[in-house]
Structure 1
Amino acid sequence: MEKPLILVTNDDGITAPGLRMLVSIMKRIGDVIVVAPDSPQSGMGHAITLDSTLYSKKMKIDLQNEDILEYSCSGTPADCVKLALQELLPKKPDICVSGINHGSNSSINVIYSGTMSAAIEAGIEGVPAIGFSLCDYNWEANFSPAEDFIHAIVTQALHNGIPKGTVLNVNIPKLEKNELKGIKICRQAKANWKEKFDKRTNPMGKDYYWLTGEFELLDKGEDTDEWALANGYISVVPTHFDLTAHHVIQELNSWGL
């Protein structure tokens, strides 16, 4: 049987250790093509490049995987997927996987995530897609404990299919392999960032601001991604990109507009 074609991307950049681990896992499943940003693009959300040119360069990052075709892209994660699907791939991929992100993309963080935006862009184009994130921001983070779980999730997604209009948001707690309890299918927790700006002044007397904040969990539910992560489980949240609040339509119709 023909191997599935797998598009691998991320937001931490093409040299990021998390992406290198994801490539090695996907190589066991199918034929891999990488299209990823040439520099870190964390927190870019679903930004796309409109007012400047995009550049792409064929790369060879991992000499142990010389059979894998890799491209760096000067744009955002969403740009990478657009360029991959329209110009760089020989055919439509069977699945797109994004990550493994260095840091959590659970709950409200999914809104800002370049990792998930790349997966969502693939989903918009009708490609099954999954975003993977490890709750560890360290560049030297250990991704290996979740290797078998990532393999299983992608294999099952290829076998069963992901419903149209849906992408999977997978977050992995920072634990050793023997501490991971398994996988939980969850909803996105209600949470927010209590943000503030640290105002400073540079040597030239000009004010500048550094965004800081504290994460606020507003959800006590035991069916959420935050609960799963806090209790040793890998969370899988089915996420859709139809932003319509369908339950509010009837109420708005009653306004008599």
Structure 2
Amino acid sequence: MEKDKPLILVTNDDGITAPGIRTLIEVMNEIGTVCVVAPDSPQSGMGHAITVNDTLYCDKVIIDKNAPQTEYSCSGTPADCVKLATNEILKRKPDLCVSGINHGSNSSINVIYSGTMSAAVEAGTSGIPAIGFSLLDYSLNANFEPIKAFVKKITLECLQNGLPKGVVLNVNFPKLSEKEIKGIKVCRQANAHWIENFDKRKSPLGREYYWLTGEFVNEDKGEDTDEWALKNGYVSVVPVQFDLTAHHVIKDINSWDI
């Protein structure tokens, strides 16, 4: 491990062979010494789930024999990957954890369901600066080339400036060419939600089952949100805190007769 280079932990939720993480590894190799610990299969929508009632496996693998990074394939969730990396695999705390690049949006309310962002939050809880990267393209064949320069720029700025304690970054990219992307905006999370439906069906054996469907509704008209930025051709950067306390409500609840 080169002492003058930052140690960067790379993970994701789409699985260790997904094109998004392979692109992220390529960019991180230009910046530091890279260790990859990522799920062995897709873990999208897992949120901050951890494995407590089953065994965990973590095997050293070689996916690209010509690349310098060290890689481990883990049977667990994205949060499991970060826990294993920081407690068992790495000999010291990494200088940065990057998660992604996710195939699909993690803007607005999607952040709470995201395995990509939960990996970043897990790192943040251990005092590791962390960034989750996502591209608004769900295709397995998504083109990540247009955003590589932006990923590198944001990563370098984070390493140089650091992040406040208790904060990680949620970065989302519009599906545009590099020339079409207008720039980077630091935003707040839009006030949006899903109107969910369950498509009820029957299996050939007559057993009922469900497919979750839904419509994303953005009721936030502000021009300082991640949804506005992405819709208008900008990269959105949202600082995310994982202290979930509603501090502004404490005074009101203290007035209750409890």
* TM score, norm. by length of structure 1: 0.99
Q: What is the match of residue 52 of structure 1?
A: 54
Which runs of structure 1 show a deviation greater than 4 angstroms over 4 or more consecutive aligned residues?
none
SS at 1:133 equivalent: strand
Displacement of 1:64 in angstroms is 2.6
**Offset of 1:48 from its aligned partner?**
0.2
Distance in structure 2 (CA, Å) of the matches to 1:104 and 1:39: 19
| Aligned residue runs from structure 1 range 128-147, under 5 A | 128-147=129-148
Partners of 1:51 and 1:5 lie apart in 2 by: 31
Alignment correspondent of 1:78: 79
Equivalent AA in structure 1 for residue 16 of structure 2 = I
What letter is aligned with 2:57? Y
Superposed displacement of residue 90, structure 1: 1.8
Q: What is residue 98 of structure 1 aligned with on the other side?
A: 99
Indicate the RMSD between aligned Cα atoms, in angstroms: 0.7
In the alignment, the residues of structure 1 paired with residue 64 and residue 133 of structure 2 have an alpha-carbon distance, to the nearest angstrom, of: 20
The corresponding residue for 1:5 is: 7
Question: What are the equivalent positions in structure 2 for 1:135-214 lying under 5 Å apart?
Answer: 135-214=136-215
SS at match of 2:42: coil
Q: How many aligned positions are there?
A: 256
| Structure 2 runs not aligned, ≥5 long | none
- For the residues of structure 1 that align with 2:180 and 2:257, how far apart are their CA atoms? 56
1:34 counterpart residue number: 36
Partner of 1:112: 113
Q: Deviations over 1:217-245 (max 9, x none)?
A: 01000000000000000000000000000
Distance in structure 2 (CA, Å) of the matches to 1:202 and 1:28 = 50
The Cα shift of 1:68 comes to: 1.0
Pairwise CA distance, 1:63: 2.4
- Per-residue Cα deviation, 1:21-68 (whole angstroms, up to 9, x for no partner): 000000000000000000000000000000011000001111230x21
Distance (Å, rounded) in 2 between the aligned partners of 1:136 and 1:117: 20
- Compute the displacement of 1:19 (Å): 0.2
Match of 1:61 among 60, 63, 67: 63
Q: For residue 129 of structure 1, report the CA deviation from its aligned partner.
A: 0.2
Question: 1:142-179 CA distances to partner (integer Å, 9 max, x unpaired)?
Answer: 11111111101010100000111000000000001110
Distance 1:202 1:34 in 2: 39
CA distance in 1, matches of 2:227, 2:66: 37
TM-score (ref. length: structure 2): 0.98
Percentage of pairs with the same residue: 69
What runs of 5+ residues in structure 1 fail to find an aligned partner? none
Alignment correspondent of 1:243: 244
C-alpha separation in 1, matches of 2:170 and 2:222 = 18
